[in-house]
Amino acid sequence: MQNTSLLHDCQTPLHALVVGATGGIGLALSQQLAAHPQVARLFVVARAATRSAALAALAEPSGGRIVALDCDIREEADLAGLAAEISRAVPALHLVINTAGVLQDDTTAPALRPEKSLAQVSAAGLQASFAINAFAPILLAKALLPLLRHSAPAVFASLSARVGSIGDNRIGGWYSYRAAKAAQNQLLKTLAIELSRLNRQAIVLALHPGTTDTGLSKPFQANVSTEKLFSPAFAAAALLQVIAARVPADSGNFYAWDGRPIDW
Ligand SMILES: NC(=O)c1ccc[n+]([C@@H]2O[C@H](COP(=O)([O-])OP(=O)(O)OC[C@H]3O[C@@H](n4cnc5c(N)ncnc54)[C@H](OP(=O)(O)O)[C@@H]3O)[C@@H](O)[C@H]2O)c1
């Protein structure tokens, strides 16, 4: 990816934003974008981005080109602060990749777990999963809209998951995560339609990274063969290639890491 364009038909310098930049895939994306000569400014965001040694290693030597910002993207006030901070630094964003997502969380009460059966479904679990996996990506898009509403290329990509595909659901389970990712997909499709009217070069994408060796997937890797478990660097490079190959006519669709479309 080093010497190829990050966005189709666009060689100009880009302003990019990665959300979930402290996570497995988000950090690998941040590192690859930081090393890419087309990226003029890079904003790396998570709840504790400014406390991340890995992000400090990118930002500190960058002379202000790379900036770490803290934001809980479930919170509209946080998102307004994030958009204001970015707007003070740049007039537009060209590439936004949201990787924030949660499958299980021990810090919530009760703990969020992917449900094995209906008996494990709870209102609290559904709400917690929807807050980050469905609502947060569209609230992020709303907050960033003024930075995406321009006449240059603008990609808003958010990581969904193949298990969010209703057509692909053959084994059940994981009610809240599946449903929240499916809801995210519908919200992104709707965003794609509105954004196409505001920026004819805009592309909105739901992306599946493949099963990737990160903190999120760690508890569920037992039945995944090693050749099917991607490194974060591999998944990030594959996702950047999928993004680079997309044109505005592809906006509002759901793609896997290998560029193949996924059934809704
Ligand atoms: N890994 C896989 O096999 C796999 C497969 C399919 C889909 N996915 C999807 O890919 C995405 C990335 O997954 P990953 O495996 O890289 O996960 P990860 O390592 O757990 O990283 C998740 C990132 O999201 C951030 N985050 C969580 N809640 C947040 C919030 N409220 N506000 C801001 N940032 C928040 C986390 O940072 P802080 O906690 O510091 O805020 C972290 O940087 C997720 O959406 C996941 O659903 C992953």
pLDDT in tens, 149-171: 999 999 999 999 999 999 999 99
Residue 120 clears pLDDT 70, i.e. is over it? yes
Q: Which atom of ligand 1 is nearest to the CA of 20?
A: 43
Who contacts 38 (Cβ-Cβ below 8 Å, separation ≥6)?
5, 6, 11, 12, 13, 14
pLDDT average, residue stretch 88-117: 94
Q: In the predicted model, what is the mean pLDDT of the chain?
A: 96
Residue with tokens 């508890």: 219
What are the phi and psi torsion angles at 229 (to 5°)? -105, 110
What are the phi and psi torsion angles at 208 (to 5°)? -105, 120
Q: What is the pLDDT of residues 169-219, one digit of tens each?
A: 999 999 999 999 999 999 999 999 999 999 999 999 999 999 999 999 999
Ligand 1 site residues (CB inside 6 A) read 19-26, 46-48, 71-74, 99-102, 132, 159, 161, 208-209, 211-212, 214-217
230: tokens are 């991607």
Domain span at residue 44?
Answer: 14-256
What CATH number should be reported for the domain holding residue 105? 3.40.50.720
Hey, whose CA ends up nearest to atom 17 of ligand 1?
216
| Residue 11: pLDDT band with limits 50, 70, 90 | confident
Hey, whose CA ends up nearest to atom 34 of ligand 1?
46
With contact defined as beta carbons under 8 Å apart, do 219 and 178 qualify?
Answer: no
Instruction: State residue 106's pLDDT score.
Output: 87
Instruction: State residue 175's pLDDT score.
Output: 98
| Position 172 in a domain | yes
pLDDT average, residue stretch 83-92: 98
Q: What gap in Å lies between CA 1 and CA 36, rounded to an integer?
A: 8
Instruction: State residue 108's pLDDT score.
Output: 81
Q: Which atom of ligand 1 is nearest to the CA of 177?
A: 47
| Position 91 in a domain | yes
Number of compact structural domains in the chain: 1
Who contacts 60 (Cβ-Cβ below 8 Å, separation ≥6)?
none
Instruction: State residue 110's pLDDT score.
Output: 78
Instruction: State residue 241's pLDDT score.
Output: 98
With contact defined as beta carbons under 8 Å apart, do 99 and 159 qualify?
Answer: yes
Who contacts 142 (Cβ-Cβ below 8 Å, separation ≥6)?
79
| Position 8 in a domain | no
- Ligand 1 center–CA 197 separation, angstroms: 30
| Position 6 in a domain | no
pLDDT average, residue stretch 111-118: 93
Q: What gap in Å lies between CA 179 and CA 6, rounded to an integer?
A: 31
Instruction: State residue 239's pLDDT score.
Output: 98
Residue 10 clears pLDDT 80, i.e. is over it? yes
Q: What is the pLDDT of residues 123-136, one digit of tens each?
A: 999 999 999 999 99
Q: What is the pLDDT of residues 13-47, one digit of tens each?
A: 999 999 999 999 999 999 999 999 999 999 999 99
| Position 261 in a domain | no
Instruction: State residue 111's pLDDT score.
Output: 82
| Residue 2: pLDDT band with limits 50, 70, 90 | low
Who contacts 51 (Cβ-Cβ below 8 Å, separation ≥6)?
none
Helix spans in 152-227 (H):
175-198
Hey, whose CA ends up nearest to atom 5 of ligand 1?
211
| Position 164 in a domain | yes
CA dihedral 237, 238, 242, 244 (to 10 degrees): 20
| Residue 1: pLDDT band with limits 50, 70, 90 | low
Instruction: State residue 3's pLDDT score.
Output: 65
- Ligand 1 center–CA 20 separation, angstroms: 6
| Position 149 in a domain | yes
- Ligand 1 center–CA 135 separation, angstroms: 14
Q: Report how far apart, in Å, the C-alpha atoms of 4 and of each of 1, 33, 34, 39, 240 are.
A: 5, 12, 14, 12, 11
Q: Report how far apart, in Å, the C-alpha atoms of 9 and of each of 93, 111, 121, 136, 243 are.
A: 16, 45, 46, 30, 12
- Ligand 1 center–CA 91 separation, angstroms: 27
| Position 239 in a domain | yes
pTM over 0.75: yes
